[in-house]
Amino acid sequence: MSTPPTPPNKLARPVVPILPFLELDPPTATRIGDLPDASAGLEWLLAADRTPDALRLIAHALPKREAVWWACMCARAVPALEPSPVDAEALVAAELWVRRPDEASRRATMEIAQKGGFRSAESWAAVGAFWSGGSMSPEGQPEVLPAEHLTGVAVVGAIMMAAMRHKPERAPLRFTRFLASARDIAAGGAGRIPPEEG
């Protein structure tokens, strides 16, 4: 019996197109741009102890559905001390869009994020789904498409808000857990992270 082929790494994509969105200093951007793909860029940044930059690269390099799912997993990994029903709704809406990325579920994510005032990791995960494609204008209005990098921007916001939530001193440990999740998602897994306790 033959072994099934290994699925391709979803970070194995060209890094040059996303460099403008990574906010790297020019020497680092040049070094990363010389690497074969975003996966190699991730490893270089981690070896240089530049974890926040590595997380930003992941947010922009993963396909949009996977990036939004990652934001959702990170938000779930660091539960709010006083959970908000609107944030819970935003998270469910973002996850629903990942599972069924149609126009109705995409538009619903922004409606819910607006209700929460864009103040949480959950709401920014939902915004990432909304900015994934399709028009940003109200229905029936002239089409205004989101810039290609906006989902990555929203996902970075979600990841950083989750990492700094209520116990920011835990951010380095959370970053490690988030990176493990991203690697799993890039390899075709679900990237689930057990919720933090205490």
Helix (H, G, I), strand (E, B) or coil at 148: coil
Mean per-residue pLDDT for 42-63?
97
Under 8 Å between Cβ of 156 and 54: no
pLDDT of 2 reads: 64
pTM given for the model: 0.95
Nearest C-alpha neighbor of 182 from the set 193, 167, 196, 198:
193
**pLDDT-above-70 percentage for the chain:** 96
Under 8 Å between Cβ of 165 and 87: no
Q: Write down the mean pLDDT value for the chain.
A: 95
Instruction: Determine what percent of the chain falls in helix, strand and coil, rounding each to the nearest 5.
Output: 60, 0, 40
Q: What is the pLDDT of residues 120-140, one digit of tens each?
A: 999 999 999 999 999 999 988
Q: What is the pLDDT of residues 4-22, one digit of tens each?
A: 666 689 999 999 999 999 9
Query: CA-to-CA distance for 191 and 178, rounded, in angstroms?
Result: 9
What one-character DSSP code corresponds to residue 101?
-
pLDDT of 99 reads: 97
Query: CA-to-CA distance for 79 and 26, rounded, in angstroms?
Result: 36
Under 8 Å between Cβ of 90 and 108: no
Q: How confident is the model at residue 30 (pLDDT cuts 50, 70, 90)?
A: very high
Q: What is the pLDDT of residues 134-165, one digit of tens each?
A: 999 998 899 999 999 999 999 999 999 999 99
**pLDDT greater than 80 at residue 57:** yes
Under 8 Å between Cβ of 13 and 61: yes
Q: What is the pLDDT of residues 106-123, one digit of tens each?
A: 999 999 999 989 999 999
